[in-house]
Amino acid sequence: NAGVTQTPKFQVLKTGQSMTLQCAQDMNHNSMYWYRQDPGMGLRLIYYSASEGTTDKGEVPNGYNVSRLNKREFSLRLESAAPSQTSVYFCASEGKVYEQYFGPGTRLTVT
Amino acid sequence: RKEVEQDPGPFNVPEGATVAFNCTYSNSASQSFFWYRQDCRKEPKLLMSVYSSGNEDGRFTAQLNRASQYISLLIRDSKLSDSATYLCVVLLGGTYKYIFGTGTRLKVLA
C-alpha cells in the first residue's frame, strides 16, 4: 500500500518550458488535490477534483492545468513555466473523515 | 488578516517539557479542524483531528474553542523526535476548502 505517490521528486525547468507532475493514490479516495507550498505561506490550493472527470479551480490556478485521468491519477501541467512557479508541489487525497494524505512532493525550480 | 494564524516560533524546549501551541481562525463557517506535522523537506502528515469536546492521543491533546475561534495542541513529555513544524488546518463547512496555517516550528533539545 503505497498511499500517494508523486513523480518527479525534483525538476529544474527553464522559463517557458512545460512539464507534467504525476500523482497517483491507491486508497480508492474520490477527492484529490494539488497544492503548492512557498516559504512563509501556508499550503495553497491550485486545483481540486471531487471525483473522476471533475475538476475545480482553487486559490492559485493561473498557469496550471489538471487532468483527473481516472480515480487513481490526478496530474498537474505547467504549460509555460515561470520563475514565480518555483515551489514545492504536493498532491493529496481525502479520506472518509476529511483527513488528507499527502504525496512526498515535487521540488520545482524555474530559472 | 490571515484566515488561520499561528505563531511561527521556533519553540525551543528541553526533552520532557510540556509545550502548547495555539492557532486562531477567522471564518466562523469553519467546520473541521486538524493538526498536521511536517518534518523538514517532507510532506505534511495528519497528527490528529480536533473535536469539539477535545481529544487526546497519547502525549498529544487537542482542544477546540468555537466561541473564541481557536484550537490548541498540547504536547506532554516532549521527545527529540517531536521536533517538526506543526500545521493548523481548518476545513470550511460544505466546501472542499482547507485553509492551512503557516506552521509553528518546534525544536526539542537534549
Would the CA dihedral through A42, B24, B30, B57 be positive or negative?
A: positive
CA distance linking residue A68 with residue A53, whole number of Å: 6
Of A40, A45, A102, the CB nearest to B102: A40
* Range A73-81 average pLDDT: 97
Kindly indicate the confidence band of residue A1, based on its pLDDT and cuts at 50, 70 and 90: low
Residue B7: predicted pLDDT: 93
CB contact under 8 A, B100 and A42: yes
Strands (E) across chain B are located at 4-6, 11-14, 19-25, 30-38, 44-50, 55-57, 60-65, 70-75, 84-92, 98-100, 104-109
Over residues A88-105, the pLDDT tens digits come to: 999 999 998 899 999 999
- CA A76 to chain centroid, in Å, comes to 5
Backbone angles phi, psi at A85, to 5 degrees: -95, 5
For B81, which DSSP code?
G
CB contact under 8 A, A99 and B49: yes
Residue A35: predicted pLDDT: 98
Q: Which three cell numbers stand for residue B49?
A: 483531528
Of A42, A48, A94, the CB nearest to B102: A42
Residue B96: predicted pLDDT: 87
* Range A79-88 average pLDDT: 97
List B residues 51-80 in contact with A (Cβ-Cβ < 8 A): none
Residue A111: predicted pLDDT: 97
Position A56, amino acid: D
Position A6 pLDDT exceeds 80: yes
- Cα separations in angstroms, B59 against B12, B63, B74: 18, 13, 8
Contacts of A79 by beta carbon, 8 Å cutoff, 6+ apart? A18, A63, A65
Low-confidence ranges of chain B (pLDDT < 50): none
Cis peptide before B8 (omega within 30 of 0): no
Pairing mode, strands A10-13 and A106-110? parallel
Over residues A17-72, the pLDDT tens digits come to: 999 999 999 999 999 999 999 998 889 999 999 999 999 999 999 999 999 989 99
Q: What is the CA radius of gyration of chain B?
A: 13
CB contact under 8 A, A98 and B87: no
CA distance linking residue B57 with residue B106, whole number of Å: 18
Helices (H), A1-111: none
Looking at the complex, report in whole angstroms how far the Cα of residue B43 sits from the nearest Cα belonging to chain A. 5
Position A84 pLDDT exceeds 80: yes
CB contact under 8 A, A102 and B44: yes
Residue of A nearest to B50 (CA): A99
Residue B29: predicted pLDDT: 87
